Structure 1
Amino acid sequence: MRVIKGMDALGYDPNASVENLGSQKSITIGVIVPDIDINVFTFTDFIKGVERASQMYNFNILICAASNNIDKEMKYLELLRTHTVDAMILLHPTIKNDKIIQLNDEGYHVVVVGSVIEHACIPCCITNNLEFSQRVVTHFAEQGHREIAFINGSLSTSESMDRLEGYIQGLKVNRLPFYPELIEHGDYNEEKGYQAFIRLINKTPRPTAIYTANDEMALGVYKACKELGLRIPEDISVMGVDDNRIGRYIEPPLSSVKPPNTELGYLAAEMIMCLVNKKDINNRIVTIESTMLFRKSSMKFV
């Protein structure tokens, strides 16, 4: 299991923590998540991982939905200063890194998921966004595509920037032309993914493959293709990210990248318990690989 590898990377003995629980006060861990409505499956799986860890380490969870709002995130972080929570997990935070560093320097326990904070004492767990984005482009290239478009999410997150960089590197590695006009932004939601595709399909060169930074936006592409009479994958190939359950059952089934959300949640909780119990963390930054799932929506183009 990838979680066990993550535990090994931390150099943390869970049994030692469990043995000490009897003498500790009840611990509450806050989890700040962005927009639950958009990526409900992603966040459900992530919280599932945190919840599994809570059963092992006997801590309470307080979920804080920030709705991609910086002011809300800052408000929830104040729960550390008021001692409402003992530590905080930040999933894809939008606040500036210096605010997170300030909390750490004040002695509060924070773990970041989805991005890396350049600070020796702030643990971070991520997936390989750059690498798997490059692999998506390579997959399309192997199917015969040359004009590959990318619908990104929000440029306010390092996750989006990494996926964009991976897309560009994928074009370079496969010696494919880079057209800046074939990059659009869909803010991680279906309707804006739909609008982004409508803009892309009317551009020159016209793309034959679309990589969307999440499956929600890919569903918007499907909707637009149906309205325009475009066949997937005969006229346009599509691949997303998240392995949204809906994507498995639409026709044709959506190719996707499955991030290790449950494992990341579990690992983040382990990191938090290391901090709370003053245990050393051997590796401050831990990467867990995502899984490529190729289905009919990205079948051969030639």
Structure 2
Amino acid sequence: MATLSDVAEEAGVSPTAVSRYLNNRIELPQATRDRIDAAIAKLNYRPNLLAKRLSTGKTEAISLVTPEIANPFFAELAAAVEAAAQQHGYAVYMSSTQGDRAREIDAIQRLQDQHVDGLIMMTNQPDDGTLAGLLDPHHNVVLLDEDIPGVSVPRVFVENEQGAYLATRHLIEAGHRDIAIISGPPRLMSVSERLAGFERAMDEAGLPVRPGWVLLGQYSRDYGRAAAMQLLGSAPRPTAVLACSDYIAIGVLQATRQVGIDVPGELSLVGFDDMPFAELVDPPLTTIRQPIAEMGRMAFERLLAQINKTDAEPLTRLPVSLIIRKSVRKIGAAHS
């Protein structure tokens, strides 16, 4: 295995020059940089990561905690974080917690044990204070997508309230007055904000929010199906549903097919996320698009600033947009 000294001898420079060059601590003439790069390639030199960690105090790795990597939303977020990290020479250690609090705690422990330089935290369950207590002493942390109250670290969220408002306004403008909402766990930030957007649009239109048509459970296909079955069995039943995730919307579509209700002919539907499958389902799903790639990139940039002890924005809110497809019917008009 080639050593740093071997690279230095091949390139005709000192080992110190090679070391400082690899750690971005020296400016060298282009010809010298080219000789060092050529020597590294010829000798297949790989830096001693342990030695580098001891000299720089950094692992050049971060931890990414995601609730469920099988969910396309979290998978796309993780891919965006990994792409941004790779551009800056950072590896990403990923933990898929399945919403298990013990797994979330284990991931935070890796930061405490200095196995990584920082942590991007995503959760899909309300915190009982456990996560906040563990994260609070740490500065190299960014919260992505969902909040954990009581932690003073940078946050990267989307405009949840505005997204639900746009979706509900779209249904109202299509003539719907009997609108239900299906969303995730109570006490979760995104759930509260999306419910607020729904209520704002309904209030502006002078429409009632029926308590039995506000169903909160999980951001999952199974819950979407179960909640939709409940709504479809009610009398009267809604003419439209705002599903606060595309996964919930898929569950709603499963329920409508099971009981023989046509979407959008008998029930209009709007999702939230704009997952890649949203335009492939039948009918193609009208939904709120979240800028997922931008969310992941921004989260890593905020974390890198924390690692490098530079200023990072405490809260970043990214805009969302309404994507109109074929799952909403205008009352008294053709499908739209």
Alignment TM class, shorter chain as reference: 0.7 to 0.9
1:51-66 correspondence runs (5 A): 51-66=82-97
Counterpart code for 1:190: R
Aligned partner of residue 316 in structure 2, secondary structure: strand
Structure 2 partner of 1:188: 219
Cα gap change, 1:26 to 1:71, in 2 (>3 Å): closer
Check whether the contact 1:124–1:284 (CA below 8 A) recurs between aligned residues. Answer: yes
- Deviation digits for residues 157-196 of structure 1 (CA, Å, limit 9, x no counterpart): 2111211221112211221111011112351222221111
Aligned partner of residue 296 in structure 1, secondary structure: coil
Q: After the TM superposition, which of the residue ranges 237-246 and 131-140 deviates more from structure 2?
A: 237-246
Structure 2 partner of 1:144: 175
Structure 2 partner of 1:27: 60
Say which of 308, 314, 321 aligns to 1:284.
314
1:130-279 correspondence runs (5 A): 130-279=161-310
Counterpart code for 1:286: T
Q: TM-score, normalised by structure 2?
A: 0.78
Q: TM-score, normalised by structure 1?
A: 0.86
Q: Aligned equivalents of 1:187 and 1:58: distance in 2?
A: 36
Aligned partner of residue 327 in structure 2, secondary structure: helix
Q: Aligned equivalents of 1:190 and 1:205: distance in 2?
A: 24
Q: Aligned equivalents of 1:69 and 1:148: distance in 2?
A: 33
Structure 1 partner of 2:123: 92
Cα gap change, 1:235 to 1:68, in 2 (>3 Å): same
Q: Aligned equivalents of 2:263 and 2:138: distance in 1?
A: 53
Alignment pair present for 1:293 and 2:293: no
Percent identity at matched positions?
A: 26
- Deviation digits for residues 202-239 of structure 1 (CA, Å, limit 9, x no counterpart): 22331000111111121121122122221111110011
Q: Aligned equivalents of 2:198 and 2:228: distance in 1?
A: 17
Q: Aligned equivalents of 2:257 and 2:182: distance in 1?
A: 18
Aligned partner of residue 24 in structure 2, secondary structure: helix
Counterpart code for 1:295: R
Check whether the contact 1:233–1:297 (CA below 8 A) recurs between aligned residues. Answer: yes
Aligned partner of residue 297 in structure 1, secondary structure: coil
Counterpart code for 1:237: S
1:1-16 correspondence runs (5 A): none
1:40-119 correspondence runs (5 A): 40-92=71-123, 94=125, 96=127, 98-103=129-134, 105-116=136-147
Distance apart, 1:241 and its partner CA = 1.2
Counterpart code for 1:22: N
Q: Aligned equivalents of 1:185 and 1:101: distance in 2?
A: 24
Larger radius of gyration: 2
Q: Aligned equivalents of 1:105 and 1:251: distance in 2?
A: 45
Distance apart, 1:116 and its partner CA = 4.3
Size of the alignment, in residue pairs? 281
- Deviation digits for residues 244-276 of structure 1 (CA, Å, limit 9, x no counterpart): 222211221111111112111111100110010
Cα gap change, 1:79 to 1:108, in 2 (>3 Å): farther
Unpaired runs of at least 5, structure 1: 1-18
Cα gap change, 1:95 to 1:221, in 2 (>3 Å): closer
Cα gap change, 1:271 to 1:220, in 2 (>3 Å): same
Check whether the contact 2:136–2:151 (CA below 8 A) recurs between aligned residues. Answer: no
Counterpart code for 1:81: Q
The alignment's C-alpha RMSD in Å is: 2.2
Counterpart code for 2:119: M
